[in-house]
Amino acid sequence: MGNIFGHLFRITTWGESHGGAVGVVVDGCPSQLVLDVSAIQADLDRRRPGQSHLTTPRQESDQVEILSGVFEGQTLGTPISMLVWNKDARPSSYEHLKDTYRPSHADYTYQQKFGIRNWQGGGRSSARETVGRVAAGAIAKQILHQQRNLEIVAYVQQIHAIKTEVDTGSVTQEQVEASLVRCPDTKASEEMVLRIDQARHDGDSLGGIVGAVARGVPVGLGEPVFDKLKADLAKAMMSLPATMGFTIGSGFDSVSMTGIEHNDPFYNDQGNIRTRTNHSGGTQGGISNGENIVLQVAFKPTATIRRDQETIDVFGNPVTLSARGRHDPCVLPRAIPIVEAMMALVLVDHYLRQQAKTLP
Amino acid sequence: MGNIFGHLFRITTWGESHGGAVGVVVDGCPSQLVLDVSAIQADLDRRRPGQSHLTTPRQESDQVEILSGVFEGQTLGTPISMLVWNKDARPSSYEHLKDTYRPSHADYTYQQKFGIRNWQGGGRSSARETVGRVAAGAIAKQILHQQRNLEIVAYVQQIHAIKTEVDTGSVTQEQVEASLVRCPDTKASEEMVLRIDQARHDGDSLGGIVGAVARGVPVGLGEPVFDKLKADLAKAMMSLPATMGFTIGSGFDSVSMTGIEHNDPFYNDQGNIRTRTNHSGGTQGGISNGENIVLQVAFKPTATIRRDQETIDVFGNPVTLSARGRHDPCVLPRAIPIVEAMMALVLVDHYLRQQAKTLP
Amino acid sequence: MGNIFGHLFRITTWGESHGGAVGVVVDGCPSQLVLDVSAIQADLDRRRPGQSHLTTPRQESDQVEILSGVFEGQTLGTPISMLVWNKDARPSSYEHLKDTYRPSHADYTYQQKFGIRNWQGGGRSSARETVGRVAAGAIAKQILHQQRNLEIVAYVQQIHAIKTEVDTGSVTQEQVEASLVRCPDTKASEEMVLRIDQARHDGDSLGGIVGAVARGVPVGLGEPVFDKLKADLAKAMMSLPATMGFTIGSGFDSVSMTGIEHNDPFYNDQGNIRTRTNHSGGTQGGISNGENIVLQVAFKPTATIRRDQETIDVFGNPVTLSARGRHDPCVLPRAIPIVEAMMALVLVDHYLRQQAKTLP
Amino acid sequence: MGNIFGHLFRITTWGESHGGAVGVVVDGCPSQLVLDVSAIQADLDRRRPGQSHLTTPRQESDQVEILSGVFEGQTLGTPISMLVWNKDARPSSYEHLKDTYRPSHADYTYQQKFGIRNWQGGGRSSARETVGRVAAGAIAKQILHQQRNLEIVAYVQQIHAIKTEVDTGSVTQEQVEASLVRCPDTKASEEMVLRIDQARHDGDSLGGIVGAVARGVPVGLGEPVFDKLKADLAKAMMSLPATMGFTIGSGFDSVSMTGIEHNDPFYNDQGNIRTRTNHSGGTQGGISNGENIVLQVAFKPTATIRRDQETIDVFGNPVTLSARGRHDPCVLPRAIPIVEAMMALVLVDHYLRQQAKTLP
């Protein structure tokens, strides 16, 4: 249970980090979508480790294979099955972890819940599981773009103490991709690179904040009361590994504002109903209001570090987990396409749900 | 769509703020639960407006009626239908809002989505909808308490700029209820009362942060990968009116920590596997680890204020929404039982899901 | 669990036969439907016992109350909560059944599954539960009729050994309602009346076959592979009390035909693609093909009879269940609006699902 | 939509008959199940065409690959992804069908619903889709057998006019497999072989009835009111290609019995509560009563025949579909493992749901 997401655009992801493959089945993709497979591959490449000296050096080529649901370049309306083979399986390099619970990893909870775990590299709790999300999200993005010209851009907004402001109205994927750390602010980006290099040198790791915006969202997406747009976005983001918090619009800053400051006044912009501010982050009453959807996601510093740590083994004995191997000191740059994918999956699901409501 | 929550303990809420009634149907409550109806009523009373001079003066008696699913004091395993009649319907007092979109309310988005809206007091987007959540949550609490001695305490942690620290290990409902604003810190509580009185005087409103803790949560709740415990908690909280953010454990503070600082070391506490710190907030890999579940929810200042505001009418014309009537300057105290209810609903659902996994 | 039906037009029924009330919540009804409440009441009246001397004499007035989701005569797009109070509760008349398992009733299985049961008249397994289905189905019918002029007619096709053929292309509800037993064949109808009177006199009961047709079904309803139209119709019908079998189109008769006899040849009927025969019963590959949907449902003879029967009590001791009270020797006439309701619920759900597929 | 089945043991099948592969993802399989992969393969081999001269000569080796969810021979509790490559794709042999709607196939309805179809051999509506069901069902069978010694046997009960009675209490898979047509009655089996040979010679096809029994089913499976065991079994069977009818227990024969004849008297069989007859087919009130679950499924004669047929092309013009190629005159023998799989999937899902109900 728990590996299915969505109500009408429904994805099932599967796969461990060191099993045969990882993949996803998309059930509910409308038919006759002209599918751009290269765009799916491009997002997988953005997610892939080893894109720069900053990220984990493990090489996974991550070539997507589409096994069903597409015929002569178009979707059939039947399930789209996509997989990526695991090529870089080196169980031996995890042998020393077989009997040890790594701090703040899922080793202990998986073992307790399931009575068994694949100790070869994180198993199902590995970030490798997000391959399926990114592939499915890339299809969702294409639907939203083709149908509504809807555009999603995610970006690194903060790494450790280095933060920046991003103009959500104008930031582009090109600006984001121009940065090694996917932060569109050139100066902050440079500082972040240095900070990450230092963390790598220290054997330590860093967290941060990813921001994202969706522009061109039609009015009316979101289903009160439980499936509010902000609620489904929150679930989507908090289902990602290492996430600790989610905000929409003004988020925790709203707390120190008063009602008169926070309310977004409506006005008529030459026939379009708009709000003068967007503290609401694009939804009101759980339903999109046509303004940009703006959200933030907090990621903790990665649990994998290259430092000795006190912990216990599976028998309950205290042990020291020795520093060894290489590590990825900051996963935020790689998280960008994943956050975009989750946002697209939520929006396309609600887009289809809204279609179902429309009686001619 | 969107009015059903949960997978095994499934609730359907219904009702507008000024229709005949509001209610909930609970599908999946285990049988033979000895049901304490007075505890349900007590939580509804805590949710009710008009409990003190601080809250909205509208009087709703909110007497729960149980129409099915209970027999001779025990649950039957069949759906439990509960309702509360709407007694305080005064459509006339909303007449002036019929054609006006109130800023940061759901008037505009409901009208656009559905082509119609009940303009008498918020309709379905009203906080009155949470009556059903609280009633269902009160049952969920009883299961968790009877089965696992699991205890949930929510509290006001911040109102506007006035904040406090709460010891999540020891805070009790008695301490919370002793405060007019449901903040267990006496000094902060007094300041909050003054701040709210001022806001009322100003015709303005205030937001804040609600914190919550669940103690006694068994190891193993939560379903990777999408139905992680933190993901379902996030959805639950962000499905509430006026919520802007959700965090678990260290939340956004994790961002400025490094891995070595943030990781929670395991140790063996006389046979119990524990962690020395709880930055994770009680879940790892999306599964509960036996530590306290600790979360925070940000609420924006209430959209209803007693101040003139610029907005538009349903025809797109600019209008001034005049200050009138009375208002509730801060809903956080009333949100306490609602947050508890949502937490209980998520936990009981995952508790039952975990039962299903257990092969003898 | 198990009390929710549908994916986009989702109903939750609740209530025992002798609790406070029975009811239903409809989640997913499109907004702006002009709702004819009298049509809902009319279907409830058709379902009600005591309509003629043929049926059970218990009087239930079954007045529907709509508590939410409707505003000024139109649906709001929010949950529609409807209830009917139980007025004829006479627990004392069931007192002798408290410790006895009636043969072919649900007493034993409920007791074993839930460890408790409401022994006052069938509880949740009572046909009274179908009140909610009929009320929700009456709304579904209105959508289908208003949107597509789609028409559903169910009828009694066989009672015990007395059977008839019904012209599914022309049979009308008027013809059905003109018969005491809701069999549109006047001669068979008269024989059925006599046969039922005899069964009543014998203290015995009768089963039979209900047929139903939907005319005007658009092409394209049904979702391969599990949610085929015929699969969802089968589930809908087999979820009714006392049903033992379901067929679509040629049903079990198809077995003795060969492929060349059974295949339905396509032809072009002045621009409409039709089939010359309709052995398929209106679906191919699980999707409606525009021909009439034709189905049959077998009902066993009612388990409640007025005859001494050997059985056991809850302690496992053999006992004789004495004949007493009055009984309804044949429920088929009352099942007609219920079968129609279930058919409408399946069709409207797939109609909405098909809307969601349509990309502009 | 529509490619996911089950609530706790949830399968997603995917794949067209002539795409890259077909497969299934199982979400919700309990962990620590010692998985017998050879048993999965054995069921796939039973489903495979070309097992005898009686069935379609197309050769598909159907070797299952398990890509996730299993570690060192045991299930991990994570999704189990299984696939079988399509090796026998010969699009050219379907070229002549590109523009033709075959009678009683899904060509027309898929084209109308989706606006596109994979015309190479049935696409998603092909029986090849059942590969995923059989693989998942084989896992379900293992759980039921290991946990409860529950045994499922399906068999051919009738082909065209040749029928037999099967003793559901004693029939074994060995008896079934000993017959070329999987009919445990040797004499009927021989007649069926001759009848099928004749149909092949005639270019015609035959339908029939598959029966199935589950022995050792615990009391208490099934969820009133919509998810009754019989309802979910009906949906499972009617979701298979070519099925036209479903019955449980006495089925349509119940119609000509009276209540006193049909009711199943309870008795105490040395401490076990049993019924003297089993007209109910093992469920009462939608819940299993411990007796054998007995059901029947009607299959129409296969739509694919080797005879000239009148039909239309995609442009609406009348055309003659010429007899050509080879065909499988009767699919019933191959349907046996598929019916068993669907029965197992329903039972395991309800078995897990029942676990969730059990409060310690």
Query: Mean pLDDT per segment of 10 residues, for chain C of length 360 residues?
Result: 96 91 97 97 91 59 95 96 85 81 96 92 89 98 97 98 98 97 98 97 97 98 98 98 98 97 97 97 98 98 95 96 87 97 98 82
Given a cut of 70, whether residue D241 has pLDDT beyond it is: yes
Quote the pLDDT of residue A326: 81
Q: Closest Cα of chain D to A136: distance in Å?
A: 15
CA dihedral A180, A181, A184, A190 (to 10 degrees): -70
Per the CB < 8 A criterion, the answer to whether C81 and C15 are in contact is: no
- Cα diameter, chain A: 70
Per CB-CB distance under 8 Å, the chain D contacts of C307 are 259-260
User: Nearest C-alpha of chain B: how many angstroms from A76?
Assistant: 26
pLDDT at A258: 98
Once rounded to an integer, what is the mean pLDDT over residues B288-310? 97
Q: What's the sign of the alpha-carbon dihedral B300, B303, B304, B305?
A: positive
pLDDT of residue C233: 98
- Angle between helix axes D130-148 and D37-47 (nearest 10 degrees) is 130
CB contact under 8 A, A246 and B251: no
pLDDT for the residue numbered A331: 95
> Given pLDDT bands bounded at 50, 70 and 90, which one contains residue B91?
low
When pLDDT is cut at 50, 70 and 90, the band that residue B1 belongs to is confident
Mean pLDDT of A253-270: 97
% pLDDT > 70, chain A:
95
Quote the pTM value.
Answer: 0.97
pLDDT at A77: 96
Contact across the interface for D359 and B33, Cβ inside 8 Å = yes
Segment D69-73 mean pLDDT: 96
Q: Which residues of C touch A358 (CB under 8 A)?
A: 30, 355
Is D164's Cβ below 8 Å from some Cβ in C? no
A355 touches chain C (CB under 8 A): yes
Record: contact D15-A81, CB cut-off 8 A: yes
Neighbours of chain C (3+ CB pairs under 8 A): A, B, D
List the single best residue of C1, C5, C8 to mutate versus D (max D Cβ within 10 A): C1
d(CA C11, CA B359) in angstroms, rounded, equals 32
Q: Supply the pLDDT for residue A283.
A: 98
The CATH code of the domain at D4-357 is 3.60.150.10
Neighbours of chain B (3+ CB pairs under 8 A): A, C, D
Provide the pLDDT for residue C57: 52
Supply the pLDDT for residue C323: 78
Q: Is the pLDDT of residue A60 over 80?
A: no
Range of lowest pLDDT (A58-67, B311-320, D118-127): A58-67
Rounded to whole angstroms, the Cα distance separating B149 from B141 reads 10
Least confident range from B283-292, B326-335, D245-254: namely B326-335
- D117 contact A CB<8A: yes
D92: exposed, middle or buried (Cβ count in 10 Å: 0-12, 13-18, 19+): exposed
If you average pLDDT over residues A306-334, what whole number do you get?
92
User: Considering chain B, what percentage of its residues have pLDDT values greater than 70?
Assistant: 95
Task: Give the model's pLDDT for residue B228.
Answer: 98
Answer whether residue D198 shows pLDDT above 80: yes
- Ramachandran assignment for B32, one of left (phi > 0), alpha (psi -120 to 50 degrees), beta (any other): left
Summarize pLDDT for A103-136 with one digit per residue, the tens.
999 999 999 999 999 988 778 999 999 999 999 9
What is the reported pLDDT for D57? 53
Residue B22, φ and ψ in degrees, nearest 5: -125, 155
Is the CB of residue A283 less than 8 Å away from at least one CB of chain B? yes
Q: Which of A118-132, A176-190, B327-341, C24-38 has the lowest mean pLDDT?
A: A118-132
Q: Kindly list the domain boundaries of chain B, sorted by start residue.
A: 4-357
- Helix intervals (H) in B149-207: 173-177, 186-202
Q: What is the mean pLDDT of chain B?
A: 94
What is the model's pLDDT at position D116? 94
Q: What does the alpha-carbon distance between residue D360 and residue D350 come to, in Å, rounded to a whole number?
A: 19
Please say whether the beta carbons of D214 and D201 come within 8 A.
Answer: no
pLDDT at residue A58, as a whole number: 52
Of C8, C16, C32, the CB nearest to B1: C8
Residues 11-70 of B with CB under 8 A from C: 12-16, 19-23, 25, 27-28, 31-32, 65-70
Q: Which of D27, D23, D22 is nearest to D8 (CA)?
A: D27
Which pLDDT value is given to residue C95?
Answer: 82
Question: Would you call C33 and A359 a contact, using CB atoms and an 8 Å cutoff?
Answer: yes
pLDDT exceeds 60 at position A56: no
pLDDT greater at residue B54 or residue C230: C230
Under an 8 A CB cutoff, do D318 and C261 touch?
no
Q: Is it the case that residue D323 has pLDDT exceeding 70?
A: yes
Q: Which residues contact C104 (CB under 8 A, 6 or more apart)?
A: C300, C303, D262, D263, D264, D279, D280, D284
- Confidence (pLDDT) at A50: 67
What subunits make at least 3 CB pairs under 8 angstroms with D?
A, B, C
- How confident is the model at residue A89, as a pLDDT? 59
The residues, any chain, with a CB within 8 Å of residue A281's CB and separated by 6 or more, are A230, A247, A248, A249, A250, A251, A291, A292, A293, A294, A295, B244
Instruction: Give the residue, B134 or B126, on which the prediction is more confident.
Output: B134
Q: Is 80 exceeded by the pLDDT of residue D30?
A: yes
Cβ separation B147–D359 shorter than 8 A: yes
Q: Which among B20, D225, B13 has a CA at the least distance from the CA of C25?
A: B13
Does C104 sit within 8 Å of D263, measured CB to CB?
yes
Q: What is the distance in angstroms between the Cα of A174 and the nearest Cα belonging to chain B?
A: 26
Q: Which of B225, B266, B301 sits opposite A124 (nearest CB)?
A: B225
Q: How confident is the model at residue A84 (pLDDT cuts 50, 70, 90)?
A: very high
Q: Do A79 and D27 touch (CB under 8 A)?
A: no
Per-residue pLDDT band for B239 (boundaries 50, 70, 90) equals very high
Q: Has residue D56 got a pLDDT over 60?
A: no
pLDDT of residue B57: 53
Strands (E), C50-184: 65-66, 70-71, 74-75, 80-85, 151-159, 162-163
Q: What Å distances lie between residue B119 and A212, B124, B126, C236, D116, CA to CA?
A: 33, 10, 11, 37, 45
Non-local CB neighbours of B237 within 8 Å, separated by 6+ positions: A234, B243, B246, B295, B297, B339, B342
Any C CB within 8 A of D10 CB: no
Tell me which residue in D78, D224, D355 faces B356 most closely, judged by beta carbons: D355
Q: Would you state the structure tokens that stand for residue A60, as one six-digit string?
A: 């996974």
pLDDT level of residue B206 (50, 70, 90 thresholds) = very high
| H/E run at residue B102 | none
pLDDT for B59 equals: 56
The pLDDT of residue C220 is 97
Distances (CA, A) of A304 to A203, B282, C140: 9, 19, 55
pLDDT of A92 > 60? The answer is yes
Mean pLDDT for D255-266 is: 98
Whether residue B299 is predicted with pLDDT greater than 80 in this model: the reply is: yes
Residue A59 has pLDDT above 60, yes or no: no
Average model confidence (pLDDT) for chain A? 94
Closest CA to B357 of A15, D219, A114, D147: A114
Mean pLDDT score of chain D:
94
- Count CB atoms within 10 A of the CB of residue D37: 16
- Is the pLDDT at B198 greater than 70? The verdict is yes
Q: Is A1 on the interface with C (CB under 8 A)?
A: no
